[in-house]
Chains A and B, each alone.
Chain A
Amino acid sequence: MVTLLRRGWAGRIAMVLAVVGPGFITAAVDNDAGGIATYSVAGAQFGYSLLWIMIPATVALVVIQEMSARMGAATGKGLSDLIREEFGFRVTFFLMLALVFTNFGNIVAEFAGVASSLELFGASKYIVVPLAALLVWALVVHGTYNSVEKIFLFASLLYVTYVVSGITAKPDWTAAALSTVTRPESRGFRNYGYLSMVIGLIGTTITPWMQFYLQSSVVEKGVTMRQYRAARLDVVIGCLFSNVIAWFIIVACAATLHAAGKFTIETGADAAQALRPLAGEYAYLLFAGGLLNASLFAASILPISTAYAVCEGLGFESGLDKRFDEAPAFYWLYTALIVVGAGVLLVPHFPLFRVMVLSQVVNGILLPFVLVVMLLLVNDKELMGEHVNSRWYNVVSWSTAGAMIALSVALLIAQLRS
C-alpha cells in the first residue's frame, strides 16, 4: 500500500494546486495592454484620486468571476454551451458574432502592446509582430493544457514587475492608502474626463471574454463541485492579485507623471517612456517589460478562448486534441484571429484607432447581454440544482450587473458622441 500511503498532507496541497490556475490566470490577463494603458492614464491624469475605485472594482470582479467558475463546476459545460442549450441558436449566433468582433479588437490591442513595448528597446514592429504571432500560435497549438498553463501561471507572476516599478517610483504611501479607502468627492463626477475615466477603469476590469474563458478553463481543468472551495479561493486570490497590480500601476504613474505635471499620455508605452527620466532606468525597464509580458500573455489567451467559445456554442468540432482536418472551423478561426489581428498593425494607414473604438463599443453592448444571460443561467434550478445564487448573493450580483450595465451604456453614449 505504499503508493496509497504516500498521499497525506502533500496530497492535500496537491489537491488545492490541482484546481489553482483558471481564476488566477483569467484575472491576471485582465491587466492586458488595454488595461495597463487605462491604469497609466488614470494615474498620470488624476494622481491618487481614482484609487478608491479599486475596492468596488475588486468586489464586482470577484462576484462575477465567482459565478462563472461556479457554473463551470456545477454543470461541467462552458458558458457558450449553456447559452446555446438554454437560449437557442439565434441568440448564440449573435452573441458569438459580437464576441468575435470585440475580441478581435482586443487582440489587435495586444499585438500593438507587443510592438510598442519592444519599440522602446529599438526593435522594429515589422519583425517583432510576426514573430510574436508565430510564437503565440505555436505555443497554443503545440503545447498541452498542462504545460501551457504552467507558462501562463509563470507569466502571471511576472506582473510583480509592476509592484517593483511602483515601489521604485517612491510614491507618497500615506496619500495613496488614504485615497484608496476614502469616499470620492461627488463634485469630481461632474467633470466629464473624470467620469469617463471611472467608467473606463471598471470597463477594462470586467469584460465579456473573461466569463467565457474562465468558465471553459474551469471545465477543462475538470473542476467539479467537490473541489469548488479551492477553485473559489483561486478566483478570489486571482482577482485580488490582479487589482493589487492595477493599484501599483496607478500609483507608479501618479507618483511620477502626475507629480511632474505630465498628464497627457495615451498608451502603456508612453507611460514607460515618461517614467524614464522621473523614476530611473529600472522603473522604466520593469514597466516596459511588464507591458510586453502582459500583451503577449493576453495575445496567447484571447484567440484560443474565442475559438473555443464560438465553436462550442455553434456546434463546430473544437479542441487542440483534434487534427486540423477534424476541426477546421476551430483552427481557421484561431489562426485568422492571430494572423489578421497581428497583420493589421503592419498595414500602413490602417484606421487602427477607429477599429479599436468600434470594438470597445461592441464590447459595451455585449457586456450587459452576457451579464444578464449569466445571471439567468446561474439562477436556473434545473441547471444549477442547489448551487443557484442565494438571495443575498443575487442582490449583490444583480446590483453589480446593474451598475455595470449602467456604466457600459454611459460609456457607449460617451464614445458615440466623441
Chain B
Amino acid sequence: MSLVALSELLGATVRDATGNARGRVREVAVAPQDHPTRVAFLVVRTANGERALRLNSIKAAAGSSVRSTDEASSWSGYSPSDGLLLLKRDLLDQQIIDVHGRKVVRVNDVEIECTPVNGHLLLDVVAVDVGARGAIRRLSKGVVPSFTLRALLERIPPRVIPWQFVDLIETDPARRVKLKIAYEGLSKLHPADIADIVEDLPPAEREAVFETIDEEVAAETLEELEPDVQTSVVESLDKERAADIVEEMDPDAAADLLGDLPEEEAGQILDEMRPEERQEVTQLLEFGEHTAAGRMTTEFVAVAETATVNDAIEALKTFEGSREALATIYLKGPGDRLVGSVPLVKIAISPASAGLSSLNEPYIACAPDTPQSEVAALFDKYNLITLAVVDEHGRVAGIITADDVISMLRRKD
C-alpha cells in the first residue's frame, strides 16, 4: 500500500506488457455510481488517440511511470461521459467544501492510495491536499529530480482533507445526480456554519447548494446570510423552490427578506406560498422594517390565564415556530388581551396541575410602531429574552426575541 499524488500520475509514462512506452496519463476517472472512491480508469494519450486504461490491467504505478499488464492494442477507446468524475478537470485547482474545517478551500493535489490485489492495482482517492506540500510538488514537478523532491516534501507537514469530509461543488443539476454528489456533509453542519461557507462561494455554487439541501436547513441557513447575499440567492432560485424555503423561515425573517426583494419578485414568491404563511408574512410586511412590528415574529405560545402547567406543556408540544420564541408563555385574558407572562423555567419546575395564573409575572410589552432602538433599550433595561408587541386592543400581535435584537444591533454598523 502506498500513496501517489495525482500530479505525479498526470503526465506519467505508460508502458504496456512489452515494456514499451505507449503514451502518457492525461486524466484519472472515477465512476461514482460504481464506487465512490475507486479510480475506474486512467485516460492515456497515445499515438493512436485517447485510450481508457482499466485498473485491472495496471501492474504498477509509482513516481512518473505506470505499467500495464496488457498489450497497448487491447486498451479500449475513451469516450467522455457526464457520469465520470475527472480528477484533473473536476477536482485539481477547483474549490471544494471542507466539511470538517467548515470552509471553502482550493485543491492543490489529490492523494491516491495504491493497493496491490491479485497482480494488479486498486487506486482509491483518499484525501485532497490543500497545503504547501501539494503546492510545492506542482511547482517543482519536472524541474527538481523526483527523488530529491520526495525527500524535500517529506519535511513539509501535510495539510490534507480526508475524502469523506470533502463535498464537491457541481452546478449542473443533471450532472450532480449522475455523479451522486449530495451536500451530505454540508447539510449536517450548523446552519450558521453553512451560511459562512455559502458566502464564500460564487453565485452559481450558492444556487446549487440551496437547490439541493433540505428546505428546513435551507431556510435556517438563509436566515443567517448577509441581507445582500440573501436576496441574490433567493432571486437566483426558481419561484416555487424559493417559496418552499421562505415558508420554512421565521415570519419576521421572511418579511425582512421579501421587503428587500424587488416588488414583482416578492409578489411571485408570496403567490407560491401556502395561504396561512402568506398571510402572516404580508401582515408583517405592512409594518416599517425598523419598528417593533417589523422585527417581531407572529409565532409564539399564548394560552388562557385559567390554563394549567399541563395545558401549557401541551401547547408547547404542538408549537412549530422557532425555539427562541418558547422562552416565555403568554397568558390571555378576556377578549384575548394580554394579562401576563410565565417564563419557561417556571413551567419546567412546577407541578403539572398548578394554575398558570399563580406563576404569573408582570410582563413588559411595547406598541407595534415602537422604534427598534427603543426595543433594544427595553431588552437591556429589563434583561428580557422575549418582548410582547401589543396592538391597540391590548392583544399580542407578535413577539420579539433576544436573538433578533442582537442581529439588529450588529447590523447597525
Contact = CB atoms under 8 A, between A and B. Distances in A.
B286 A89 contact: no
B286 A3 contact: yes
A76 B108 contact: no
Given A4-B259, A89-B108, A222-B229, A76 B286 contact: no
Contacts of B130: 315
Nearest to B130: A315
B262 interface: yes
A84 B204 contact: no
A89 B93 contact: yes
Interface in A305-338: 314-315, 317, 319
B262 A85 contact: no
A219 interface: yes
A7 B262 contact: yes
A315 B131 CA distance: 9
Interface size of A as a range: 20 to 34
Contact of B266 (A4, A75, A226): A4
A85 B204 contact: no
Interface string A83-111: 01100111001000000000000000000
- SS of A interface (majority): helix
A348 to B, nearest CB: 37
B408 to A, nearest CB: 17
Interface in A158-215: none
Contact of A2 (B92, B258, B266, B286): B286
Contact of B285 (A3, A7, A15, A222): A3
Contacts of B203: 76, 222, 224
Contacts of B413: 144
A402 interface: no
Interface string A61-74: 00000000000000
Nearest to B196: A321
B347 interface: no
B232 A222 contact: yes
A177 B266 CA distance: 51
Interface in A253-299: none
B286 A1 contact: yes
Nearest to A316: B106
Given A89-B93, A315-B108, A11 B232 contact: no
A317 B103 contact: yes
Given A4-B263, A89-B135, A84 B106 contact: yes
Interface in A210-249: 219, 222, 224, 226
Given A4-B267, A222-B229, A76 B202 contact: yes
A3 B259 contact: yes
Contacts of B287: 2
Contacts of B259: 3-4
A387 interface: no
A19 to B, nearest CB: 12
Given A4-B285, A7-B262, A224-B232, A219 B202 contact: yes
Contacts of B108: 89, 315
A15 B282 CA distance: 23
Interface in A321-369: none
A2 B285 contact: yes
A30 B229 CA distance: 29
B95 to A, nearest CB: 8
B228 interface: yes
A7 B267 CA distance: 13
Contact of A11 (B107, B262, B285, B286): B262
A222 B263 contact: no
A81 B204 CA distance: 14
A209 B371 CA distance: 46
The winner among B92, B107, B138, B202 for most chain A CB atoms within 10 A is B202
Interface string B86-121: 000000111100000001011110000000000000
A102 to B, nearest CB: 20
A219 B232 CA distance: 12
B79 to A, nearest CB: 18
Nearest to B286: A2
Interface in B197-221: 200, 202-205
Interface string B305-323: 0000000000000000000
Contacts of A5: 263
A144 B258 CA distance: 24
Nearest to A144: B413
A85 B106 CA distance: 9
Which of B93, B204, B229 has the largest number of chain A CB atoms within 10 A?
B93
Interface in B316-369: none
B269 to A, nearest CB: 11
Nearest to B228: A222
A85 B285 contact: no
A356 B259 CA distance: 52
A47 to B, nearest CB: 49
Nearest to A147: B413
Given A3-B286, A4-B285, A89-B93, A315 B105 contact: yes
B93 A88 contact: yes
Contacts of B406: none
A77 B282 contact: no
Nearest to B231: A222
B204 A76 contact: yes
Contacts of B92: 88
Contacts of B258: 4
Contacts of A75: 202, 204
A81 B255 CA distance: 35
Contacts of A219: 202
A213 B260 CA distance: 28
Contacts of A90: 138-139
Nearest to B7: A89
Interface in A1-58: 1-5, 7, 11, 15
B16 interface: no
B289 interface: yes
B243 to A, nearest CB: 16
A377 B95 CA distance: 18
B139 A93 contact: yes
A3 B95 CA distance: 39
Contacts of B94: 85
B103 A315 contact: no
Interface string B223-252: 000001100100110000000000000000
Contacts of B95: 81
Contacts of B107: 315
The interface centre, meaning the residue of B95, B106, B200 with most chain A CB atoms within 10 A of its CB, is B106
A226 B232 CA distance: 11
20 contacts: A1-B282, A2-B285, A3-B255, A3-B259, A3-B289, A4-B267, A75-B202, A76-B202, A76-B205, A77-B202, A88-B138, A90-B139, A93-B139, A144-B413, A224-B236, A314-B106, A314-B135, A315-B105, A315-B130, A317-B103
Q: Which 10 A-B pairs have the closest CB atoms?
A: A315-B106, A76-B202, A76-B203, A3-B259, A89-B138, A4-B263, A3-B285, A7-B263, A77-B202, A222-B232
Given A84-B106, A85-B93, A88-B93, 11 more contacts: A2-B285, A2-B287, A2-B288, A7-B262, A15-B262, A76-B204, A81-B95, A93-B135, A219-B202, A224-B203, A314-B106
